[in-house]
Amino acid sequence: MQQRNFKQVDVFTATPYRGNPLAVVLDGSGVSDEEMQHFARWTNLSETTFLLPPGSDTADYRVRIFTPGGELPFAGHPTLGSCHAWLEAGGKPRGRDFIAQECKVGLVKIRRDNARLAFAAPPLKRSAPSPAVLAQVAAALGLKASQVIAAQTLDNGPAWLTLLVDSPQTVLKLSPNHLELKNLGHKVGVAAAYSGHERGTPDLEVRAFAAPIGITEDPVTGSLNASLAEWLIAEGHMPARYLAAQGTCLDRAGRVSIERDDSGQVWVGGASVTCISGSVAL
């Protein structure tokens, strides 16, 4: 083992301890897959990342992303939190306009907007879930069929079976059967739009349940919000720019900024703040 620089970053919040925490090992060189997974299980956070030298001349750094249950090809809050930690530790981007992060889905562009970062949502594959699977998931969530407006299976690296429901109150009152969701094998996202909200308040309420990978509820989920945005904007359920809230039921105040630019690219952004800096023996 050796001492490696380490940060714990809170993502999708400017207020410490109100977002989604991320463990970042700033030098993962020489750490085996098994050691990475063991450490991620030990931190017991939704994700732990390991930064590595890039594998190509077009990337600024490479990241590997682990949940307590396994490695992910891409995830949103680890993308923003890892980039925040890399920049804070003195990382210098090759390009003027973007930071280029290499991960298992390929290169992900990240742009700086003053103190905030936003990533370009990866390409999305989506399809309609079968009626039988949708009925099983809705039952595990405690939802009636009449409360579900639309549903899609969304995949931008991680796959989410996602439901748009009738009201934010429905989202906030959910008390899922997590064992049943785990047995069904689906990570599930649930969202609902606010109507008549005031400027600066959230437009969408989101919750994410990921029992199959060892996380009953994720506080704030970048990958889910990215795929939700691409689906909901394309289908006219949400405008091209909106603010999502997530983590309310976990006493968090996650805020995810969504913007689809003129080229059709969806950007997913938010603030990050470092809560712990030090070293870890790995």
Residues of the chain within CATH 3.10.310.10 domain(s) are 3-118+270-281, 125-264
Look up the CATH architecture of domain 3-118+270-281.
Answer: Roll (3.10)
pLDDT of amino acid 197: 67
Report the distance separating Cα 182 and Cα 215, nearest Å.
Answer: 10
CB 8 within 8 A of CB 274: yes
Q: Mean pLDDT across the chain, nearest whole number? A: 95
Respond yes or no: is residue 47 known to be catalytic: yes
pLDDT confidence band for 214 (50 / 70 / 90): confident
Catalytic choice (34, 35, 47, 230): 47
Looking up tokens 């712990």, which residue turns up? 276
Let me know the angle formed at the C-alpha of 19 by 15 and 20, rounded to the nearest 5 degrees: 140
Tens digit of each residue's pLDDT (9 = 90 or more) over 128-167: 999 999 999 999 999 999 999 999 999 998 899 999 999 9
| Distant-in-sequence, close-in-space partners of 199: CB < 8 Å, separation ≥ 6 | none
Task: Provide mean pLDDT across the span 54-67.
Answer: 95
| Structure-token pair, residue 224 | 């889910």
- Can you give the pTM of this predicted structure? 0.93
Domain 125-264 has CATH 3.90.220.20: no
198 has a pLDDT exceeding 90: no
